[in-house]
Amino acid sequence: MCGIAGLIHKGKSSNVGSEMTAMLQALKHRGPDSTGFAVYGEPTEGDYIMRIKCAEREDMESGRGFTEVLAKRISDVEAILKEHKANVKAKEEATAYALRYLLSHDGDTEDMARHIEELEGVEILSLGNGLELIKDLGDATVVSETYGLGDFQGTHSIGHTRMATESDVDIRSAHPYWAFPYNDVSVVHNGQITNYWIKRRQMEQKGHRFMSNCDSELLAVYTADNLANGVSLEESLTRSIQEIDGVFTYLVATKDQLGMAKDSMAAKPLVLFESDDLIAMASEEVAIRAILPQEIDTTDPYDEEVRVWQA
Amino acid sequence: MAGVTDSELKAMTQEERVDALGLTTEQLFGRSLLIEFNPDEEERYTYPWAPDIFYNKRVEIDTDELSTTELNNKIRSAMAEGNGTIVIKNPRGMHSVGVGILNRLTLEVEGSLGYFAVGLIDGPNVRIKGRVGWSCGENMMSGTVVIEKNAGSTFGAAIRGGDLVCRGSVGSRTGIDQKGGTIIVGGDTGALSGFMMQRGRMIVCGNAGKNLGDSMYDGTIYIGGEIKSCGVDAVPAELTDLDKAWLTRKLQQYELMPDKGVDHFQKIVSGKQLWNYDNLEPNEKKLIL
């Protein structure tokens, strides 16, 4: 089933970490397998935030010997950063397998990202000036507390609670997906993509990488491909309704925008609240009410509807 | 059944009631009893075990800290105590509120509800000041429901009777599989509204999305605005004086009468080309086709 949520504050920062946690916790019944957040802080010009995972949960339980494997992977990542002349300003470990690096880097981030992902078991969850992408198994409160999201200040955020249907319960299949290698772009999706393998083969022929077998990853790659070709976010969302088959509602966030698209069957829900300074949307109204308890006016977007909001 | 009085039925357990009514030897649970009314007895509009309620007796329930089950149980306890007007406060989009109320009652909701609001109801008059999520009034059998703001998709799915009214706009697949009753929408409706409709009437004062009335078997759809497209076997029909009189009465009843009246409404019915009335079983059909 899955639950998706998004919120964007216009022209100001807010505690989007705790707001998105409350929204996703209210959607827990739609998907208790894993929870993911893409939160956007104030962009750090010249500095990059990179979040990586170096193992899956099941790897961590595979035995004592894995600690050494994990340490080797992390040191290999740091060696590559050094090779690409990326200066590590700060390093944080939320869990033994999930790390956050604050980097200053003048070179080609795409080249560096591709180099890092050549390492076995290492996946870059996000890379950008403002985006921080966090996903793990468990409900919103557990993931938020583990990764210290409670006091995260930012302008906008998207999030996801996952009920695994098409692929495994693991972090690589959890949402949001980063639109590799496009900085600061992330996607969450509720639905099922029926031409996934056809579109995946097309994207792979163009050189795009897939890290999972989850159909939602296609939307991130598809969006990245469009953005790389100079297509605007709104145009990419509009094209997707014709080019992607299935039933879906998905949200895309960039450094300063948040967009939504609903398929032509309108089979997946989304409730929308709009005011002058805040736009909030979720699979169910109960999630919006988690941050706006007062009486509000909400609407359901119709089939083939595409919207984009500016932070 | 004629020998059993209402008060005796009320005092019985579920199993005793099944036995006394001579309904079935099968073990039934919950509210799944099938009621057969005796044509000889006086007219009766409530279920035999329905508690007597008094509309002037009013109670307010604050949903803070309550789960859906707790809230619905509170509504039932309040009815058992004779409360005929129940006010729900602070529902904040809670799901499945007021489902399965099989009694006369005035239920006022001071806020918005989530999915499956007041589904499977038989009798109550419900007024919701906010909006509702998906599948509001699903399988409703009688009573009236009025929503002041918008509603989500599958509004009034499979309703069998009563009036289901939304003053705002509703989502997609409104009145899917409608089997009776009236659905009234003050604003717009989305795609595939009236899909596989079988009976009843639907009025939409605003616009309708694509594939309106797709594969409808019967029933009537009235649209006051524009229709993006009609679905398979949904065809326009002439708006008669009888239709206009009925539309006027219904829309005036719920204060949704458009300024320009009802003459501009388009009427959509089934073309009846997709199906037939033969009632044959699939294996019998093979013999003929």
* pLDDT tens digits, A201-228: 999 999 998 888 889 999 999 999 999 8
Q: Is the pLDDT of residue B278 over 70?
A: no
Tell whether A221 is covered by a domain: yes
Asked whether residue A113 is domain-assigned, the answer is yes
How far, CA to CA in Å, does A230 sit from each of A225, A233, A306?
9, 9, 18
- A216-228 vs A233-243: helix axis angle to the nearest 10? 130
Task: Answer whether residue B272 shows pLDDT above 90.
Answer: no
Q: Is A134 part of a structural domain of the chain?
A: no
Residue A48, CA distances (Å) to A101, B120, B270 in order: 8, 55, 61
Same domain, A213 and A64: no
The nearest CA of chain B is from the CA of A303 a distance in Å of: 7
Chain B stretch 124-183, residues whose beta carbon is closer than 8 A to a beta carbon of chain A: 129-131, 133-134, 149-150, 152-153, 169-173
To which residue do tokens 């209210």 refer?
Answer: A26
Would you say residue B178 has pLDDT above 90?
yes
Q: How far apart are the first and last CA of chain A?
A: 29
Q: Are residues A113 and A177 both part of a single domain?
A: no
Per-residue pLDDT, averaged over B133-154, amounts to 96
Separation CA B254–CA B162 (nearest Å): 13
Residues A173 and A100 in one domain: no
Into how many domains does chain A fold?
Answer: 2
Residue ending a domain, among A78, A105, A129, is: A129
Residue B64: band (very low, low, confident or very high) from pLDDT cuts 50, 70, 90 = confident
Peptide bond into A181 cis (omega under 30): yes
- Checking if the pLDDT of B26 tops 70, the result is no
pLDDT on residue B2? 55
- pLDDT at residue B175 above 50? yes
| Nearest CA-CA distance, residue B214 and chain A, Å | 13
Residue B130 and residue A295: Cβ atoms within 8 Å? Answer: yes
Q: How far apart are CA A256 and CA A11, in angstroms?
A: 10
Active site residue A2: yes
pTM: 0.87
Which residues are CB-neighbours of A199 under 8 A, at least 6 positions away?
A193, A218, A222, A243, A244
Q: What percent of chain A has pLDDT over 90?
A: 79
Residues A64, A103, single domain; the answer is yes
Question: Which of B90, B115, B209 is nearest residue A302 as measured by Cβ atoms?
Answer: B209
Catalytic site residue from A1, A2, A210, A216: A2
Q: pLDDT tens for residues A89-114?
A: 999 998 999 999 999 988 888 899 99
As a CATH number, domain B54-270 is 2.160.20.60
Mean pLDDT of A6-26: 95
Are A18 and A49 in a shared domain?
A: no
Contact B129 A295 (CB under 8 A): yes
CATH number at residue A204: 3.60.20.10
d(CA B123, CA A258): 44
In three-state secondary structure terms, A88 is strand
pLDDT at A62: 83
Token pair for A38: 């893409």
Indicate if ipTM > 0.90: no
Cα Rg of chain A (Å, integer): 18
User: How distant is the alpha carbon of residue B192 from its chain centre?
Assistant: 18
Which residue reads 């086709």 in tokens? B289
The closest alpha carbon to A196, from A246, A236, A242, belongs to: A246
Whole-angstrom Cα Rg for chain B: 21
Q: Name the residue range of residue A277's domain.
A: 3-42+140-310
With cut-offs at 50, 70 and 90, classify the pLDDT of residue B286.
Answer: low
